[in-house]
């Protein structure tokens, strides 16, 4: 317990978290500080490429593990299952309509890649290793949750249902393609490839992450400011409780898979995190009647900061405890 608190305390005064807080405060205070859209997208391309490449290179070093396949399957199942739990919790805890509840549920089954990145950077600074293929697991967890949510809705006779175009958009979503593509490149070129571009993808990584989180703080703050109305206590409570529930589901899977402490922490973080890029876009197409300010505010304004500050230390402490790391 003290450990968690110490870690959470350390975590809280890291440049990464403080950069997020700076953005959040600046937006709340209505400063005109802003990061251009192109720069935000450029940083996200950098982060996805770097994290994917490093995962692949680490896989190349440690060899393909039989658990890779099982981990991928576990990721898909987690992503598909979590929306059902989230949906049930939302129906109990909040007054959201079926449509809004299903849309929110999709976000929690899917993952937030920045939360993943932030977790890996905590692990790295603590010297805790994790399986390189967790990057591929992250990619595998992006989409299944969307299908679960659409199925939940179609059961009610609503929703548009999937067309071929939407399928392609979800599966060939830019961030999935880049993450997996960089992973494959990293795996193919291995440590040699990593040595060539290490100075680009490793040394400045944390600094870029700071500026990216500054931007995310700004976006989250702007969202919170204009969406205060939707944050009823029930909805807020869900935004904090759901990641913990998700992380426990991830922990169960990690134990079943026999992951390392670091890998278990990552799978917990993935399960706990909520998408705010790929899933919102899919929801706008498939469930346009669902209110975007609910799911965006929850995912980016509540759950993301919770995971960043308290969640990651908690999940890491739990993972270390249960895997006996």
Note the residues at the interface with another protein (CB under 8 A). Answer: 32, 34-37, 40-41, 44, 160, 165, 215-216, 218-219, 222, 226-227, 276-278, 280-281, 284-285, 288-289, 291-293
- Beta carbon nearer to another protein, 109 or 280: 280
- Beta carbon nearer to another protein, 169 or 198: 169
Question: For tokens 């979503």, what's the residue?
Answer: 173
Give least dist CB 209 to its own copies, A. 9
Give least dist CB 227 to another protein, A. 8
- Beta carbon nearer to its own copies, 38 or 92: 38
Residue 258: DSSP 8-state: T
The three state secondary structure string of 43-92 is HHHHHHHHHHHHHHHHHHHHCCCHHHHHHHHHHHHHHHHHHHHHHHHHHH
Count how many Cα atoms sit within 13 Å of the Cα of residue 65 in the half-sphere of its side chain.
21
Neighbours of 37 (CB within 10 A): 9
**Spatial distance between the Cα atoms of 85 and 74, rounded to a whole number of angstroms:** 16
Q: Which of 323, 312, 308 is nearest to 20 (CA)?
A: 308
Interface with its own copies, residue 37, by CB under 8 A = yes
- Beta carbon nearer to another protein, 94 or 173: 173
Would you state the structure tokens that stand for residue 50, as one six-digit string?
A: 């770097």
- Beta carbon nearer to another protein, 245 or 285: 285
Give least dist CB 79 to its own copies, A. 20
Give least dist CB 1 to Na ion, A. 25
- Beta carbon nearer to its own copies, 24 or 96: 24
Pick the piece of the chain touching its own copies (CB under 8 A) from 187-195, 220-228, 232-240, 289-297: 187-195
Q: Which of 78, 111, 75, 104 is nearest to 89 (CA)?
A: 104
Contact pattern for its own copies over residues 136 through 175, marking x by CB under 8 A: --------------------------------xx--xxxx
Interface with its own copies, residue 258, by CB under 8 A = no
Give least dist CB 40 to another protein, A. 5
Contacts of 125 (CB under 8 A, 6+ apart): none
Count how many Cα atoms sit within 13 Å of the Cα of residue 289 in the half-sphere of its side chain.
11
Residue 110: DSSP 8-state: S
**Spatial distance between the Cα atoms of 190 and 61, rounded to a whole number of angstroms:** 7
Which residues lie near its own copies (CB under 8 A)? Answer: 13-15, 18-19, 22, 25-26, 29-39, 41-42, 45-46, 49, 53, 125, 168-169, 172-175, 177-178, 181-182, 184-185, 188-189, 193, 196-197, 199-201, 203-208, 210-211, 214
């Amino acid at each position: 317990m003290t450990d968690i608190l110490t870690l959470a305390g350390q975590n809280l005064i890291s440049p990464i978290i403080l950069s997020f807080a700076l953005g959040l405060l600046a937006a709340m205070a209505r400063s005109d500080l802003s990061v251009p859209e192109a720069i935000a997208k450029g940083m996200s391309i950098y982060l996805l490429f770097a994290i994917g490449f490093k995962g692949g290179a680490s896989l190349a070093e440690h060899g393909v593990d039989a658990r890779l396949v099982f981990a991928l399957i576990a990721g898909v199942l987690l992503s598909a299952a979590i929306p059902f739990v989230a949906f049930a919790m939302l129906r109990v805890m909040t007054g959201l309509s079926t449509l809004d509840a299903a849309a929110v549920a999709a976000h929690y089954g899917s993952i937030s890649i920045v939360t993943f990145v932030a977790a890996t950077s905590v692990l790295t600074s603590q010297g805790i290793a994790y399986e390189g293929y967790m990057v591929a697991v992250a990619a595998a967890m992006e989409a299944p949750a969307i299908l679960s949510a659409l199925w939940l809705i179609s059961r009610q006779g609503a929703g548009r249902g999937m067309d071929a175009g939407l399928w392609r958009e979800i599966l060939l979503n830019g961030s999935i393609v880049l993450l997996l593509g960089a992973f494959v490149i990293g795996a193919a070129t291995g440590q040699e490839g990593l040595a060539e571009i290490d100075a680009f993808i490793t040394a400045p990584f944390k600094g870029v992450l700071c500026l990216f989180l500054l931007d995310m703080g700004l976006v989250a703050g702007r969202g919170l400011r204009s969406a205060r109305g939707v944050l009823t206590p029930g909805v807020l409570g869900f935004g904090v409780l759901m990641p913990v529930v998700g992380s426990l589901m991830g922990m169960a899977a990690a134990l079943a898979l026999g992951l390392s402490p670091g890998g278990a922490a990552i799978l917990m973080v993935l399960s706990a995190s909520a998408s705010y890029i790929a899933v919102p876009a899919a929801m706008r197409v498939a469930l346009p009647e669902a209110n975007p300010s609910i799911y965006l505010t929850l995912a980016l304004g509540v759950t993301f900061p919770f995971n960043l500050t308290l969640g990651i230390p908690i999940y890491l402490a739990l993972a270390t405890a249960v895997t006996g790391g």
